[in-house]
Amino acid sequence: MSDMNYDELSFTTRSIHAGTEPDPASGAIEPSIYMANSFLLPYDPSTMNWSASEEKIYTRNGGVNQGMLEKKVANLHGGEDCVVLASGVAALSGLFFTKLKKGDHVIFSTVTYVATYRIFNELWCDKWGIETSIVDCTDIERIRAAIRPNTKLIHFETPGNPTCCICDIEAIVKLAHENNIEVSVDNTFSSPYNTRPLEYGVDYVVESLTKYINGHGDSMGGAIIADHKTCEDIRYQAQVNIGGCISPFNAWLIQRGSQTFPLRMQVHNDNALAVAEWLDKQPCVSFVAYPGLPNFKGHELAKKQMKHGFGGVLSFGLKGEHDLYNRVVTHLNIFTSAVSLGNTGSLIVFLGEDDERMYLYPEEFHGGFYRVAIGIEDKNDLINDLRQAFKAEGLETVD
């Protein structure tokens, strides 16, 4: 298997085989969990590069399970290399910490994960002297207007969390590179099954492996996919010296989950579209935000960028007061009230009017809304669960 040319194989086959092969010592056909914090040194340790990740010295430098997972994730994204860290936020922080310095300017999207928002809007401005601009990255002209001589990075998500807004990756990359600016994309909501941003010229892709690639809600990890030099720099700074390393067990769990990732992702795509279409017809629903709906702003762009489907996350609002949202959730039997996404089971979270980023969202979100992470249950069961919860509160529904 070591001579296999993975480029000739389908995405599904590579999800199973890339980065792993039978253990040469035991013959086990599945990877072991290497729960060692250090490794046997050679006769003369002075010949080693103590900071290199390929040297097996100490798990903070790089572990066996981590290395297997990095090869797989890099392959699935079509990237040269990959760094896997302890969480998606560790991956974001690791990239930004490595690539940015005092006096640099960053443009980031109005719709981003809350930790990204806090990194750029609060922590890094105050502590590191990095300038930031919050810009609607669905509007290329607003990005153009925000560029400064010291702009070093444009960062955005597509689809964005939680409004599902769609940014034009190709157009942003073109504008950025014309101005010697690098581009990073958080691809968590789409996953490499639907979108591979590197194909559009993006410099760095960040993904929370906690979500779709793991897929079982039982481990945490994050990845940066980039060129080999950047990945080595991130390993040295964010992993070896800052210490954001992933545990061997979490890396093993994510690698295991990745083997069924394409099969699960297609069901997430199909189920979310079915639920979104049903919600969009309901008289009690004030809006539905999902890229797969033809009436969604950005739908045509999403069709171009998301090759196999529109992801498993949608948001929607109800025609009612604040507590109606809470009461409806108490009637749900299949959906679980919890954060995160990409699990086998469906999750729902009510984001109220006090969300710190609410002022940045479209007006329909301002009264509060649900973010729903659709799982891989039967789609009719999911729709029926929502229907009965609506009816329990006297809300009108239609088939």
Alpha-carbon distance of 99 to 234, in angstroms, equals 9
230-233: long-range pairs with CB below 8 Å, 24+ = 230/81, 230/98, 230/99, 230/203, 230/204, 231/80, 231/81, 231/82, 231/83, 232/52, 232/53, 232/81, 233/98
Percent of the chain clearing pLDDT 90 (strictly above): 85
The mean per-residue pLDDT over the stretch 139-154 comes to: 99
Q: Where are the beta strands (DSSP E) in 197-338?
A: 204-208, 222-226, 285-289, 313-318, 336-337
Helix pair 379-392, 322-330: axis angle to 10 deg = 120
Alpha-carbon distance of 197 to 185, in angstroms, equals 7
Split at pLDDT 50, 70, 90, the class of 326 is very high
Q: Exposed, middle or buried, 253 (CB in 10 Å: 0-12/13-18/19+)?
A: buried
Domains, the chain: 6-258 (3.40.640.10), 261-392 (3.90.1150.10)
Helix (H) or strand (E) holding 106: strand 105-109
Alpha-carbon distance of 72 to 255, in angstroms, equals 8
Alpha-carbon distance of 43 to 52, in angstroms, equals 18
The mean per-residue pLDDT over the stretch 310-318 comes to: 99
Split at pLDDT 50, 70, 90, the class of 3 is low
pLDDT at position 310 is 99
As beta bridge partners, residue 317 has 287
pLDDT at position 56 is 83
pLDDT at position 283 is 98
Alpha-carbon distance of 149 to 86, in angstroms, equals 34
- Candidates 76, 69, 63; CA nearest to 13 is 76
Residues in the chain: 399
The mean per-residue pLDDT over the stretch 16-27 comes to: 90
Split at pLDDT 50, 70, 90, the class of 55 is confident
pLDDT of 358 above 90 = no
Q: Dump pLDDT digits (tens) for 164-183.
A: 999 999 999 999 999 999 99
pLDDT of 145 above 70 = yes
pLDDT at position 5 is 77
- Candidates 349, 56, 91; CA nearest to 220 is 91
Do 122 and 133 contact (CB within 8 A), yes or no? no
pLDDT of 1 above 60 = no
Alpha-carbon distance of 390 to 284, in angstroms, equals 8
Alpha-carbon distance of 144 to 34, in angstroms, equals 48
pLDDT of 329 above 70 = yes
Alpha-carbon distance of 373 to 108, in angstroms, equals 24
The mean per-residue pLDDT over the stretch 333-361 comes to: 92
Average pLDDT, the chain: 95
Do 142 and 109 contact (CB within 8 A), yes or no? no
β-bridge pairing 222-226 and 204-208: antiparallel
pLDDT at position 128 is 87
The mean per-residue pLDDT over the stretch 211-221 comes to: 98
Cα-Cα end-to-end distance for the chain: 51
- Could you give phi then psi for residue 270, rounded to 5 degrees? -65, -45
The mean per-residue pLDDT over the stretch 331-339 comes to: 99
pLDDT of 52 above 70 = no
pLDDT at position 291 is 99
CA distances to 138, 314, 371 from 289, rounded to whole Å, are 15, 6, 9
Only one residue has tokens 């973010």, namely 371
Alpha-carbon distance of 248 to 234, in angstroms, equals 19
